[in-house]
Amino acid sequence: TITNGVLSASQANTIEANGGVSNVTLNDITTTAASGRLLINVDNGTNLANSGFHDATKLVPNPAMLTLTANDNSVLRGDSVVALDGSKADLIFNSGSLYTGKMTNVTNTIFNNGSWNVTGNSNITQNLTNAGGIYFQNLGQTVTVGGNYTGVAGSVIRLDTQLGDDNSPTDKLHVIGNTTGTTRLDVRNAGGTGAQTINGINVVQVD
């Protein structure tokens, strides 16, 4: 648990979970990933062994299980990546905390009065719960949820769409599982001048 202040790493990923179980709680923390580095990296440790950080002959790969909780208006900037080696990561943003970045193979994400500035295509392998806000930053991004999406009354998803014909570029929420609850969609026109649609512009897809 880290409370109050700035968390930084100049030559490495900011938060590493390389095998085993890790619980990280940030209270009123500001952190930004260094250029070319990740904010959060989760894997079984093989990459560190290959880099010479550990003795590869003695390392038994062990999937990592990370739970990260951000509280008290914490501000986190940078991308999060979970390796497809059995590792998992649950990211929880409470109490006005803000995450800016993209997520790759994150297991579960909860925004409980927290927010996400989406900076690139992202995928969450299991479930996404939105009791806060999700704000797309660049036209043409997709957030894919491999499980279910739950919206809590008062939550919002803000996305950009070039309001034209059916093939207009747009941000998109793609839910492979089911959706429940309520979320307001805030659609911003990204330079569209209007055109005839047949099926409409697909901003939310629920499989």
Residue with the larger pLDDT of the pair 73 and 51 = 73
- Residues 122-136 have pLDDT tens digits of 999 999 999 999 999
Confidence of residue 57 (pLDDT cuts 50, 70, 90): low
Confidence of residue 45 (pLDDT cuts 50, 70, 90): confident
- Residues 162-172 have pLDDT tens digits of 999 999 999 99
- Residues 145-167 have pLDDT tens digits of 999 999 999 999 999 999 999 99
* Nearest alpha-carbon partner for 40 in 16, 76, 21, 63: 16
- For 102-119, what is the mean pLDDT? 98
* Nearest alpha-carbon partner for 92 in 120, 64, 62, 132: 132
Which amino acid is located at 20 in the chain? G
Q: Is the pTM of this model over 0.75?
A: yes
